[in-house]
Amino acid sequence: GDSVTQMEGPVTLSEEAFLTINCTYTATGYPSLFWYVQYPGEGLQLLLKATKADDKGSNKGFEATYRKETTSFHLEKGSVQVSDSAVYFCALNLAGGFKTIFGAGTRLFVKA
């Protein structure tokens, strides 16, 4: 069935380190792909999205490229900050569907 798999956390980095959070998906057709971020005690917010193959989503220094050949949508940031500490969710919307399928979430801790 349709699913999203992302790397298990927690991920602990020092400030200014490079971040990669892996995300792969299984889906029929051509889904839209999203990264959401959840700060402590809050709901989720959209971080970035990509709607077709080779699209790159970017926001707040984060980037992810929709790779259809590897069914991946890895999240990257060149230099993380303490304020980036949060849980990051990879998700997809199926073409023609209405539900969003979420990965398990990856918790990121950034140390000063």
Partner 1 sequence: GAVVSQHPSRVICKSGTSVKIECRSLDFQATTMFWYRQFPKQSLMLMATSNEGSKATYEQGVEKDKFLINHASLTLSTLTVTSAHPEDSSFYICSARADSNRSYNSPLHFGNGTRLTVT
Interaction site with partner 1 (CB under 8 A): 31-32, 34, 36, 41-46, 49, 51, 89, 93-100, 102-105, 107
Alpha carbons 69 and 42: distance in angstroms, whole number: 34
Judged by beta carbon, residue 98 or residue 112, the one nearer partner 1 is: 98
For the chain, give percent helix, strand, coil, nearest 5.
5, 55, 45
Residue 37 CB, shortest distance to partner 1, in Å, is 11
C-alpha distances out from residue 38 to 1, 55, 85, 88, 96, Å: 26, 23, 9, 6, 27
Judged by beta carbon, residue 18 or residue 39, the one nearer partner 1 is: 39
Residue 79 CB, shortest distance to partner 1, in Å, is 25
> Cis omega before residue 10 (within 30°)?
yes
Residue 98 CB, shortest distance to partner 1, in Å, is 7
Assess contact for 24 and 5: CB atoms under 8 A. yes
Judged by beta carbon, residue 99 or residue 112, the one nearer partner 1 is: 99
Judged by beta carbon, residue 51 or residue 71, the one nearer partner 1 is: 51
